[in-house]
Structure 1
Amino acid sequence: MKYKNPIIFSDYSDPDVLEYGDKFIMTASSFNYIPGLPILLSEDLVNWKLVNYAIENRLDFPKYNKPMYSNGVWAPSIRKHNSLFYIFFGMPDEGIFEVHTSDPLKKWSTPHLVKKGKGLIDPCPFWEDNKAYVVHAYAKSRIGFKSVLGIFEIDPKTNESISTDSLLYNGITENPTIEGPKVYKKNNYYYIFAPAGGVKYGWQTVLRSKSLFGPFETKKVLEQKNTTVNGPHQGAMIKDKSNNYWFIHFQDKGIYGRITHLQPLKWKEDWPVIANNGKPLYQSEAPYPSTKSQMKLNQNDMLNSKDLSLYWQWSANKNTKFYSTTPNGLYLNSHYEENGNYNLKLYPNLLSQKLIYRSFKIEVTCDYSLLKENEEAGLAFIDRTNIAIAIRNENNRFKVCLRNEEKTKILDEYKKMDSLVQLSLILKENSNKIKCGLKINNKSTKQDITFLKESIVSWTGLKVAIYSISKNRKKEYGKVRFSNFKILER
């Protein structure tokens, strides 16, 4: 059977993959979103399911109680050593951390500091001969330089740094913006798989040496060439159960985020040969004859369960005061943020999901009967943007609001809100218009919003979110009941 790329059309950025018994597990960057460090499970490297998170409720720094878009958890590495599973990850303002567990499908440890410092990112641990090292990259925005890789030694018992950080490889000339290193050893060679050239139009480089500390030979092993797969890089080499090798990487797709591809990998003269001699493949023979037809992600949610679905993430640290679950729907409590003034970028209680289709319609049903004065709740696209269809209780009127960045347009008004409301957002691939809709008492309101694709996302793609916020501080806040959330492919 053949599979088609991408294998995951969703924003699992900077993926890394590891064998897990006769299955495979994947993790990815999660930035400011909580829970963080997603854990995905697969039997065949093609079909993946979200099953857990390594960071459950919070990043333990006060600033992450507010949304810090583009910050937080950057590119992770997942490894197994002495019966424990580890994820090492960088936080560009805080340093390098690790979490660990004996079973990746269960609870992980709280993040433990490996090395403190600004600009230390993309760490990968490597254990050998009772010693342990971390190879990593640098964020120019925090430390003033990039395009080089560093290395330091850690205590194999405590996983804490015991040496100064040293230059390992300088890629300024041949591999500018080199980052995301992943370390492997095969046939007495040390290999560092690392992306270079930048997210949108970069390539995958491999460094090779008989010593972990170099000097290194280099080879470009994957690039766009004459395909539509731009910037095919940053990911994981993995061996399947038949001892065949594969490379999993991302492709930047703008508002959709960084989607996941799978490429076959062979070896020639101790160098990896990926896909069609370094040219990405749109399809290939599946790793296993028993591979099932590729599943499509399904993130529809009636919102009537005791626990939130794994697909939901908060825009900042989780707070149980944000919500309550009932058999009749999910209540989001209106939250006040000082100087928030309805600016969605500033509120921590936005509950969001990743996009999963190129063209789609999102629907959710809302009960606004408990929304109080100077409060607003709705359906939005979030990241570095304010695009929403919402209802605001203002001057004792329920106003239908269309939000586009700093502009708010009132489409309709109601004296009271005693009926269920259906909100919708429609986005078509290659369009710069979002169709916003509202239906109440069999009356429909529709309006288009024009947006600039490149200006509304950061390191992540757009997220779709439900929210309930307050403009004013008050003793008692209102709330809105959400139910029947759907993402429908069009």
Structure 2
Amino acid sequence: MPLLYQNPIIHADFADPDVIRQGDDFWMVASSFHLLPGLPLLHSRDLIHWRIVNHIVKRLPSPEYDAPQPGKGVWAPAIRFHNSRYWVFYSLPDEGIYVSHADDSLGEWSEPYCLKAAPGWIDPCPFWDDDGRAWLIHAFAFSRSGVKNKLQLFEMSPDATRLLDDGRIIFDGTPSLPTLEGPKLYKRNGEYWIFAPAGGVKRGWQTVLRAATLEGPWESRDVLHQGNSAVNGPHQGAWIELENGENWFFHFQDKGVYGRIIHLQPLRWMSDGWPQIGECLDGTHKGQPVGVHLVPQLPLSPCSLQTSDDFANGQPGLQWQWQANPQKEWLTEGEKGLHLTCTASENNHAIYHLPQLLLQNFPAERFSVRTPLSLEFCHDMEEGGLVVYGQRFAALRAVNGKTGAQLCLDHGWIDDKGELNSTSIPIVDLFDEKQVVLGLRVDYDGIVHFGYQLPGAEWNEVAPQFSAGAGKWIGARMGIYARGQNSDRHGYVRFSRFTVAMR
């Protein structure tokens, strides 16, 4: 029987993926926005199975990022291998274009440096040509630059430390390719190719540009549309060519509350020299996404993205990210489990604004979570619990009071004006009980059912259910937290493990 894979290959939020092949290894990077550590690096041997192996950005450079900045942070990175070194270019849309590099992708990456301070210059991609010259292509964010639909090209020093000219617009998509962005520049058979998405995240398509020289003129062709499939907006990703001649294309699909999930499409170079992605759509040169396809002709190397965590050595695994630049006081040293300190923060009244939320992706359409808590509170109003984060947010939390702890269910949302609305519902008095298991069950469309269990008692599901919402440019996240008041001494909440089960 032939081996098949099914899309999406990653049902989790790894927005704006870029992928390279280096020998037998494949490396993927993705946008991380305001979450830290940022810019995740994923690894695969077979294009189907992936695992998080590193983060390239440990902290963001401005003190602004010591507090949550939803929608800002790391946008649309590109990864390349050149001169025995890995390179990643990305934008901070309010600051400019940044670069980091490493000789060992699994080791420490260089401190990111700003190649060009230019708000609104986004989606950078480097290109080293056969003659040794280097180039940088990028797009624009209209909200920061007042420019859109255009691609700009610069000559760059081969060591990627400076731009060598004033740049020029090489393509304007305004007439027929609205929201043209995310360019990836390649060379094949002596011709230059730009793979660039157009049409917007939710309903867009994949465009390819072709030219004999970098100066152009550039021809364009739309090569991947939704067509008759259920995959909306299939675009923005990476072209990969294997040693055996197979060609593949990664792209994302915006799936609302689940974020931008990852698909893999076959790519064929046609007799007219243009690529066709996916399966042929109505006898045209356009393709549409495949749902099932033969696996790449590579040795299968099964692995899975990290979800559950035993918090080895008292540290969170690579699947976890904070809402802001991490601070050492957020963790309390302990022998077993993860000890989250009940530290205070600004905007302490709003879970949405807490920097010390420790979060990870929704890993599937349907899943469940259990996490045992030990409550080691020192003061009134210290708390900790399980949270679902987005522009609609909720938390099942144990909060300390004068007569002991109480379990509460909070839910709320942030509106278009940035104003917060929230409600807290008492669930059960814990009194002096220091042990509780919290959990949640996620069903289709991100419907969340929270629950809890006290020692020696049965599992209790709490009402009402909660409809999770996407965040700013990201899907919903789930995770854990602790917080408290200003004090010289803080309690903590110990999470002994975090167990995720697919349903």
TM-score bracket for the superposition, by shorter chain length: over 0.9
Shift of 1:116: 0.4
Deviates more, 1:86-95 or 1:472-481: 472-481
TM-aligned CA distance change 1:398 to 1:306, over 3 Å: closer
Counterpart in the other structure of 1:428:
443
Does residue 1:322 correspond to 2:334, yes or no?
A: no
Shift of 1:456: 4.0
**2:429 counterpart (384, 401, 413):** 413
Trace 1:209-220 onto structure 2 (pairs within 5 A): 209-220=211-222
Please tell me the residue identity of whatever aligns with 2:409: L
Shift of 1:445: 3.9
Does residue 1:308 correspond to 2:316, yes or no?
A: yes
Shift of 1:315: 1.2
Give the Cα separation in 2 of the matches to 1:122 and 1:468. 35
Does residue 1:368 correspond to 2:375, yes or no?
A: yes
Counterpart in the other structure of 2:284:
none
Give the Cα separation in 2 of the matches to 1:67 and 1:391. 23
1:85-136 CA deviation, whole Å, 9 max, x = no partner? Answer: 1000011001001100112111110111111011111000112233222111
Counterpart in the other structure of 2:500:
487
Give the Cα separation in 2 of the matches to 1:299 and 1:427. 14
Shift of 1:425: 1.2
**1:179 counterpart (178, 181, 202):** 181
Give the Cα separation in 1 of the matches to 2:112 and 2:160. 13
TM-aligned CA distance change 1:287 to 1:443, over 3 Å: closer
1:248-305 CA deviation, whole Å, 9 max, x = no partner? Answer: 111111111111111111111211111112111011111126335x655342112243
Give the Cα separation in 2 of the matches to 1:261 and 1:325. 40
Please tell me the residue identity of whatever aligns with 2:24: D
Give the Cα separation in 2 of the matches to 1:451 and 1:176. 36
CA contact (8 A) 2:51 2:304 kept: no
Does residue 1:270 correspond to 2:270, yes or no?
A: no
Q: Secondary structure at the match of 1:63?
A: helix
Does residue 1:457 correspond to 2:483, yes or no?
A: no
**Count of residue pairs brought into register by the alignment:** 483
Deviates more, 1:422-431 or 1:317-326: 317-326
Counterpart in the other structure of 1:345:
352
Q: Secondary structure at the match of 1:86?
A: strand
CA contact (8 A) 1:403 1:409 kept: yes
TM-aligned CA distance change 1:152 to 1:450, over 3 Å: farther
CA contact (8 A) 2:59 2:325 kept: yes
Trace 1:41-80 onto structure 2 (pairs within 5 A): 41-55=43-57, 57-80=58-81
Trace 1:91-110 onto structure 2 (pairs within 5 A): 91-110=92-111
Give the Cα separation in 2 of the matches to 1:438 and 1:183. 51
Structure 1 alignment gaps of length 5 or more: none
Q: Secondary structure at the match of 1:164?
A: coil
Give the Cα separation in 2 of the matches to 1:246 and 1:395. 61
**1:245 counterpart (231, 244, 247):** 247
Shift of 1:8: 1.0
Please tell me the residue identity of whatever aligns with 1:79: R
Does residue 1:285 correspond to 2:294, yes or no?
A: yes
1:398-423 CA deviation, whole Å, 9 max, x = no partner? Answer: 121101111111112233233x1000
Please tell me the residue identity of whatever aligns with 1:224: Q
Give the Cα separation in 1 of the matches to 2:49 and 2:239. 17
Give the Cα separation in 1 of the matches to 2:428 and 2:314. 35
CA contact (8 A) 2:92 2:122 kept: yes
TM-aligned CA distance change 1:4 to 1:125, over 3 Å: same
Does residue 1:475 correspond to 2:491, yes or no?
A: no
Give the Cα separation in 1 of the matches to 2:148 and 2:404. 53
CA contact (8 A) 1:69 1:383 kept: no
Deviates more, 1:143-152 or 1:23-32: 143-152
Shift of 1:349: 1.0
1:51-88 CA deviation, whole Å, 9 max, x = no partner? Answer: 11112x21111111111111100001101111111000
1:454-489 CA deviation, whole Å, 9 max, x = no partner? Answer: x5422111111100012x322222111011211111
CA contact (8 A) 1:389 1:423 kept: yes
TM-aligned CA distance change 1:215 to 1:321, over 3 Å: same
**2:31 counterpart (29, 33, 42):** 29
Shift of 1:207: 0.7
Give the Cα separation in 1 of the matches to 2:343 and 2:261. 33
Give me the TM-score of the superposition, normalised by structure 1.
0.95
Counterpart in the other structure of 2:391:
384
Give the Cα separation in 1 of the matches to 2:502 and 2:442. 10
Counterpart in the other structure of 2:417:
none
Trace 1:128-143 onto structure 2 (pairs within 5 A): 128=129, 129-143=131-145
CA contact (8 A) 1:380 1:389 kept: yes
Give the Cα separation in 2 of the matches to 1:131 and 1:448. 62
Please tell me the residue identity of whatever aligns with 2:82: H
Give me the TM-score of the superposition, normalised by structure 2.
0.92
1:206-236 CA deviation, whole Å, 9 max, x = no partner? Answer: 0111121222111001010111111110000
1:152-185 CA deviation, whole Å, 9 max, x = no partner? Answer: 2222235222322422211112110011100001
Please tell me the residue identity of whatever aligns with 1:437: G
Counterpart in the other structure of 1:205:
207
Q: Secondary structure at the match of 1:255?
A: helix
Shift of 1:355: 1.3
CA contact (8 A) 2:240 2:247 kept: yes
Deviates more, 1:64-73 or 1:369-378: 369-378
What RMSD in Å do the two structures reach over aligned CA positions? Answer: 1.7
CA contact (8 A) 1:86 1:100 kept: yes
TM-aligned CA distance change 1:304 to 1:87, over 3 Å: closer
Please tell me the residue identity of whatever aligns with 2:411: N
Does residue 1:355 correspond to 2:358, yes or no?
A: no
Shift of 1:144: 2.2
Report the identity percentage. Answer: 39
Shift of 1:444: 4.5
